[in-house]
Every structure is written in C-alpha cells, then in structure tokens.
Structure 1
Amino acid sequence: MDEPTASLDRARSREVVELLVRQSHDHGVATVVVTHDHDVLGYCDRVVEMVDGRLGVPAPAR
C-alpha cells in the first residue's frame, strides 16, 4: 500500500494500521506499506528504508 494513512488524522491512521497488522498476522500474509509517516513504523515487523532511490540497510524497528 502506498501511503495508506496519508489523508487521515492520527486516531484514524492508528485504527487503519492496527487493522492491517491484525489482518496480516491472522491470515499469515505479508503487507508492504510505503510511507513517510514515522508513527507507522512502530507497528511494523520489519522496516527497510529507501536511500537515494535504492533499498538501504534494514532500519531497526521503532
């Protein structure tokens, strides 16, 4: 998903991200989210940053 929380307020963003995480874990699937929203990172199992147009070294989960 590309910026799934871009147009949402913080409360609704949290609800969307929690739903995505719950569904991904419940169904045993991966969900790839592209975002600039650093608040989302704390919900991620793995974070990879893009640096200068390339995937960089995986960043520590926040």
Structure 2
Amino acid sequence: MTLSLTVANLACSACVGTVTQAIQSVDAMAQVTADPKTKAVTIDTDAPESSIKAAITGAGYTVA
C-alpha cells in the first residue's frame, strides 16, 4: 500500500534520513520518498499506517 503523510517538522536531508530509518525499522522493505520543502513523505509499505506513524513519532517528528 502507498501512504502519503505530512511530517510537520521535516526540515532537512538529515531529517529525511532519520524518518526513513524509523520507517524501515518497522518495514525493512519500505520505499520512502520525502521532500523537506513540502514536508511530504510517501511510503510504499506492507506495514499498518498506525505502525508507520508511531515510528515517525517515536523518532521525534510530528505527523500532521
């Protein structure tokens, strides 16, 4: 499934890396595309949306 989320405090490429690692800790095969300018994160994953959001929040980011 493809998820489209907005991560409010996604500010730079380091943030993208941190969010990507957090998502891939839940689903190692997840494909993540993130744009710090628009705060958009697109994830192709088999993991439940709630688990993905929890991983992002656990990494210190806010899912809008």
TM-score, normalised to structure 1, is: 0.32
Greater strand content = 2
TM-score, normalised to structure 2, is: 0.31
Q: Which has the larger radius of gyration?
A: 1
